[in-house]
Amino acid sequence: MTAVPLRAKPSRAGFRAQQRRLNATAYGFIAPFLLFFVLILLVPIFYALYLSLFQNQIIGGQTFIGLANYAQAFTDPKFYEGLGRILLYLVIQVPIMLILALFFALVLDSGRLKGARFVRLAIFAPYAIPGVISTLMWGYFYGGNFGLIAQIFKGIGLPAPDLLSQQNILGSMMNISTWEFVGYNMIIIYAALRSVPTELFDSAEVDGAGQWRIAWSIKIPAVRSAILLCVIFSVIGSFQLFTEPSLLQTLAPTTIDSSYTPTFYAYNLAFNNKELDYAASIAFIIGLFTAIVSYIVQFTIQRRANRA
Amino acid sequence: MKRKSALAVGAGVVAVALLLSACSSSGGTTSSSKVSAADITKAMSKSTTLNFWTWAPGLAPEVAAFEKKYPKIKVNMVNAGQGGAEYTKLQAAIDAGKGTPDVAQLEYSELPSFTVTKSVVGLNQYGAASLKSQFTPAAWSFVSAQGETWGLPQDLGPMTFIYRNDILAKAGITDAPKTWDEFATDAAAVKAKTGSYIANFNPTESAQVLGMIQQAGGNPFSYDGKKTVSVDLQSTAVKTVSDFLTKLIQSGNVSVDPGWTDDWFQAVAKGHYAGWVVGAWGPDDLTGSAGNTSGKWTAAPMPQWSASDNVGGDWGGSSDAVIKGSSNPIAAYEFVKYLNGDSASAKEMSLNPKSLLFPTKKSVLADPAFAAQKVAFFGGQTANQTFASIAATVPAGFGYLPYMTYASNDYNDTVGKAITAKSDIYTAMAKWQADLVTYGKKQGFTVNTK
């Protein structure tokens, strides 16, 4: 009668002890990650949150002002202008770039391209070019008087377009980021394509499907998750649009003002205006927006995919 | 992924935050008690390494001469970036309370931004006030405020009109325009007959326009050294300059391209711009990229607002200031004094082909080795003589705000935008003023406008 519980008890306790040991080992393994996660991500975030609740004046120093910085941000026309601009950028640039990336990846994957290795490298290379070099390069391309594009137009007797004007600058910027990131996205999609079993294509070909049909009905659905990843990356990238405006600002300093995009605005607030606290609250709002929009994008795409 | 990246934005800003975190500058009061000769001897015989932040190249010979004179003192020159780049680092070091240099090069326009946080050492306690008569009045007025001396002048940018005499000759112009009205007439002639622009007005160059306002008798900014600033960008002088520029730019006879870009350098080298209204340091920026045009240039005083005037303006120039926290401020001051105040050192600095700093010291300006030098870039013209006489006409007492970084940045968003759009500059000046008032108030200043 007593034997069963007696036998059961120590074994359960032993099991728990073993479980604890296993858990401890697991925690030990993830401890380095946790440590850096806390140090590099959580601590700074909470510090930014803390800062955003203060106001730091040249005369008067630091004072606690609660959520006043957030209230200011939500009524700041400069912030909204920048936000509107990147939304426009998002709906135009991201589709163009991803369609190009997908197209290049499919062409490379089809194996019908001569010199595919070179093409792959050439498309990817801009991603590895340092910002300073691309500034010089695009400065030379876009220059209004002696720029390459202007010279070509003049050479064939046409008026040179002002690529740095108020109307054209966003397009010029989209061009640069497409040039820079199309290769990066292409590599992600291409890698996913390589892992699709080739038997599928072979049997489709036997059934008489052409390359376009194979791409549309087999390859693209097979790499859907990679494409989704690219979309999310690009959405986040758009919200963090900073390099291109700061790169083009030297060329078009009055067209790209200090609040051209929200991140650029936050940077200028922190460095030029010494309004670090306000910059922190702007950064927080950008983070929130990015999370919401990324979620909506992911949710919509996945739901549509599930329905299909 | 998405959350991580969203938060990364916050993390980025926080990295900045950590650098520049909550400053509370130790508000030490400047002692007015004079330092005795014995104190100086003692300080100069103490083994010290002075960290000197400057972006002026080629100061090594002057520094070596100083080290030779005071063998116990070593000077460690650091190029911490030009202008804004240096100020950001300097401000971060001041906020952190460590890593500050002993001496830093600060443009005149930026000095108030560092006196407001009490980050520079007042130099009158070391006897700096007695050096006043050795420097040009304009240069001295930039470093002295509220009865204190905050640094010693290193160089100045008396404004000149440099032009390609060959291009202007093609347009039938043999003499430089004496007045701004003549300048506008000549601009039309140059454009019509040669296709070149007489000058380019970079839309983000607030210092250039402020120099022209200074010449017109305006003094839009002031700071009382405590918490009151004043902004007046709607004065008659500002209106004169703004309306002139609006008309000139709208005529299409001058260009408004951004400066120092690849396109701009090419435009200078190819004679697309036939001239430049600039500080006396301007030619140095052109000798490299526009070297092919060397010898075809002439330097003239900046055109006047009225034919009977002879007034100059200043664009650029900097001082060397002793930064609070220096372990040996006496030695730091003695170094600054030697570099800029010692006749031989100041002369060397101006003639040194690497630094070519336009002198602020009267003895150098009058020295034949400087003034009578035939400058090859100007086809053998004694251009230094021309610049020196302009320097003497720059009005003293032009003020700056203790937040010039914001001011010049916001200028681009207001006045600069108007210049690019060729719209009314005076209206844009009102906008700039409104921003400066709002910002000043937000930063805790009392802001006066007229």
A103 Cβ partners below 8 Å, 6+ apart? none
Amino acid at B413: D
- Smallest CA-to-CA distance from B108 within B152, B170, B64, B77 is with B152
Could you give the CA distance from residue B396 to residue B439 in angstroms, rounded to a whole number?
Answer: 27
Could you give the CA distance from residue B116 to residue B22 in angstroms, rounded to a whole number?
Answer: 16
Question: Do the chains contact at A253 and B263, CB–CB below 8 Å?
Answer: no
Predicted TM-score (pTM) of the model is 0.88
- Smallest CA-to-CA distance from B330 within B108, B127, B116 is with B127
- Residues, chain B, total? 450
On the CB side of B442, CA atoms within 13 Å amount to 20
Could you give the CA distance from residue B412 to residue B9 in angstroms, rounded to a whole number?
Answer: 26
Question: Do the chains contact at B444 and A59, CB–CB below 8 Å?
Answer: yes
Contacts of A232 in chain B (CB under 8 A): 1-2
* Closest chain B residue by Cα to residue A266: B13
- CA B204 to chain A, closest CA, distance in angstroms equals 7
- For B:345-404, CB contacts with A below 8 A are 402-403
3-state secondary structure (DSSP) of residue B112: helix
List B33's β-bridge partners, or say none: none
pLDDT value of residue A190: 95
Could you give the CA distance from residue B353 to residue B348 in angstroms, rounded to a whole number?
Answer: 9
Residue B18 buriedness (CB in 10 A; 0-12 / 13-18 / 19+): middle
pLDDT value of residue A19: 85
- For B:76-95, CB contacts with A below 8 A are 88, 91
Q: What is the pLDDT along chain B (450 residues), one digit of tens a residue?
A: 333 344 444 444 444 443 443 333 333 344 445 788 899 999 999 999 999 999 998 899 999 999 999 999 999 999 999 988 899 899 989 989 999 999 999 999 999 999 999 999 999 999 999 999 999 999 999 999 999 999 999 999 999 999 999 999 999 999 999 999 999 999 999 999 999 999 999 999 999 999 999 999 999 999 999 999 999 999 999 999 999 999 999 999 999 999 988 889 999 999 999 999 999 999 988 988 888 999 999 999 999 999 999 999 999 999 999 999 999 999 999 999 999 999 999 998 888 888 789 999 999 999 999 999 999 999 999 999 999 999 999 999 999 999 999 999 999 999 999 999 999 999 999 999 999 999 999 999 999 997
* Closest chain A residue by Cα to residue B444: A59
Residue among A45, A51, A298 minimizing CB distance to B7? A45
Measured on CA atoms in the order A115, A121, A123, A125, is the torsion positive or negative? Answer: negative
- CA A59 to chain B, closest CA, distance in angstroms equals 5
Measured on CA atoms in the order B423, B427, B429, B431, is the torsion positive or negative? Answer: negative
pLDDT value of residue B262: 85
Chain A within 8 Å of B267 (Cβ-Cβ)? yes
Q: What is the DSSP pairing of strand B73-78 with strand B48-53?
A: parallel
Residue among B5, B227, B442 minimizing CB distance to A236? B5
> What is the number of other CB atoms lying within 10 angstroms of the CB of residue A75?
9
pLDDT tens per residue across span A78-110: 999 999 999 999 999 999 999 999 999 999 988
* Closest chain B residue by Cα to residue A282: B10
More confident residue, A254 or A271: A254
* Closest chain A residue by Cα to residue B418: A254
More confident residue, A198 or B302: B302
- Smallest CA-to-CA distance from B188 within B200, B180, B197 is with B197
pLDDT value of residue B33: 53
Q: Exposure pattern of B51-64 as b/e (b: 16+ CB <10 Å)?
A: bbbbebeebeebbe
Tokens of A252: 């078009």
The pair phi, psi for residue A64, each rounded to 5°, is -75, 130
Asked if residue B156 lies in contact with residue B139, where contact means CB atoms within 8 angstroms, the answer is: yes
- Smallest CA-to-CA distance from B385 within B371, B366, B373 is with B371
Could you give the CA distance from residue B60 to residue B77 in angstroms, rounded to a whole number?
Answer: 8
Question: Do the chains contact at A283 and B9, CB–CB below 8 Å?
Answer: yes
- CA A160 to chain B, closest CA, distance in angstroms equals 14
Question: Do the chains contact at A145 and B263, CB–CB below 8 Å?
Answer: yes
Tokens of A67: 């959520």
- Smallest CA-to-CA distance from B387 within B305, B283, B273, B268 is with B283
Contacts of A252 in chain B (CB under 8 A): 258
Contacts of B434 in chain A (CB under 8 A): none
Contacts of A146 in chain B (CB under 8 A): 262-263, 266-267, 270, 272
List B375's β-bridge partners, or say none: B381
Q: What is the DSSP pairing of strand B159-164 with strand B148-149?
A: unpaired
Asked if residue B40 lies in contact with residue B330, where contact means CB atoms within 8 angstroms, the answer is: yes
Helix H or strand E segment including B59? none
3-state secondary structure (DSSP) of residue A77: helix
Chain A within 8 Å of B204 (Cβ-Cβ)? yes
Question: Do the chains contact at B16 and A232, CB–CB below 8 Å?
Answer: no
Tokens of A266: 């936050």
* Closest chain A residue by Cα to residue B21: A276
Could you give the CA distance from residue B184 to residue B197 in angstroms, rounded to a whole number?
Answer: 11
Chain A within 8 Å of B112 (Cβ-Cβ)? no
Contacts of B266 in chain A (CB under 8 A): 143, 145-146
pLDDT tens per residue across span A7-26: 555 567 778 888 888 888 89
Average pLDDT over residues A34-48: 92
- CA B152 to chain A, closest CA, distance in angstroms equals 25
Give the residue carrying structure tokens 């850096």.
A36
pLDDT value of residue A308: 58
pLDDT tens per residue across span B382-396: 999 999 999 999 999
pLDDT value of residue B297: 97
Contacts 24+ apart (CB under 8 A), A222-227: A222/A192, A222/A193, A222/A196, A223/A105, A223/A189, A223/A192, A223/A193, A223/A196, A224/A305, A225/A192, A226/A188, A226/A189, A226/A191, A226/A192, A227/A98, A227/A102, A227/A189
Question: ipTM value of the model?
Answer: 0.83
